[in-house]
Amino acid sequence: MQFETIPHPSPMADDAREAAIADPGFGTVFTDHMVTIDYDEGAEGSVGGGWHSPRIGPREPIALDPAASVLHYAQEIFEGMKAYRLADGELALFRPEENARRFNASARRMAMPELPEELFLEAVNKAVTADAKWFPSVEGGSLYIRPFMFATEAFLGVRPAKQYKFIVILSAAGNYFKSGSPAVSIWQSEYTRAAPGGTGAAKTGGNYAASLVPTGEAFKRGHDQVLFLDAVEKKWVEELGGMNLFFVMRDGSVVTPPLTGTILPGITRNSLITLLGEEGLSVREEPYSIQQWRSDAASGDLVEVMACGTAAVVTPVGKVDSADGEFVIGNGGPGAVTSKIREKLVGIQRGSVDDTHGWVKLVG
Report d(CA 89, CA 99) in Å as an integer: 23
Residue 311 binding ligand COI, by CB under 6 A: yes
Q: Which does 125 bind (CB under 5 to 8 A by kind): ligand PLP, ligand COI, none?
A: none
CB atoms within 10 A of CB 139: 7
Q: Which does 267 bind (CB under 5 to 8 A by kind): ligand COI, ligand PLP, none?
A: ligand PLP
User: 24 vs 309, which CB is nearer to ligand COI?
Assistant: 309
Give me the least distance between CB of 342 and ligand COI, in Å please. 15
Residue 83 binding ligand COI, by CB under 6 A: no
User: 33 vs 102, which CB is nearer to ligand PLP?
Assistant: 102
Q: Which does 161 bind (CB under 5 to 8 A by kind): ligand COI, ligand PLP, none?
A: none
Cross-strand bridge partners of residue 328: 319
User: 151 vs 311, which CB is nearer to ligand COI?
Assistant: 311
Give me the least distance between CB of 315 and ligand PLP, in Å please. 11
User: 146 vs 350, which CB is nearer to ligand COI?
Assistant: 146
Binding mask 258-297 for ligand COI (x = CB under 6 A): ----------------------------------------
- Give, in degrees to the nearest 5, the angle at Cα 213 between 210 and 218: 120
Binding span for ligand COI by CB under 6 A among 106-114, 135-143, 274-282, 303-311? 303-311
CB atoms within 10 A of CB 357: 12
- The DSSP string of 153-202 is -B--SSS--SEEEEEEEEEEE--S-TT--SSEEEEE-SS-S--TTSSTTS
**Phi/psi class of residue 54: alpha, beta or left (left: φ > 0; alpha: ψ in -120 to 50)?**
beta
User: In the set 80, 141, 214, 351, which binds ligand COI (CB under 6 A)?
Assistant: 80
Report d(CA 67, CA 53) in Å as an integer: 23
Longest pairwise C-alpha distance within the chain: 65
User: 203 vs 294, which CB is nearer to ligand COI?
Assistant: 203
Residues in contact with ligand PLP by the rule CB under 6 A: 80, 239, 242-244, 264, 266-269, 309-310
Report d(CA 260, CA 249) in Å as an integer: 22
Report d(CA 208, CA 146) in Å as an integer: 15
Q: Which does 269 bind (CB under 5 to 8 A by kind): ligand PLP, ligand COI, none?
A: ligand PLP
Report d(CA 222, CA 32) in Å as an integer: 35
User: In the set 11, 174, 242, 330, which binds ligand COI (CB under 6 A)?
Assistant: 242
User: 148 vs 247, which CB is nearer to ligand COI?
Assistant: 148
Report d(CA 110, CA 105) in Å as an integer: 9
User: 54 vs 80, which CB is nearer to ligand PLP?
Assistant: 80
Q: Which residues contact 142 (CB under 8 A, 6 or more apart)?
A: 82, 83, 84, 85, 135, 136, 173
Q: Which residues bind ligand COI (CB under 6 A)?
A: 80, 242, 309-311
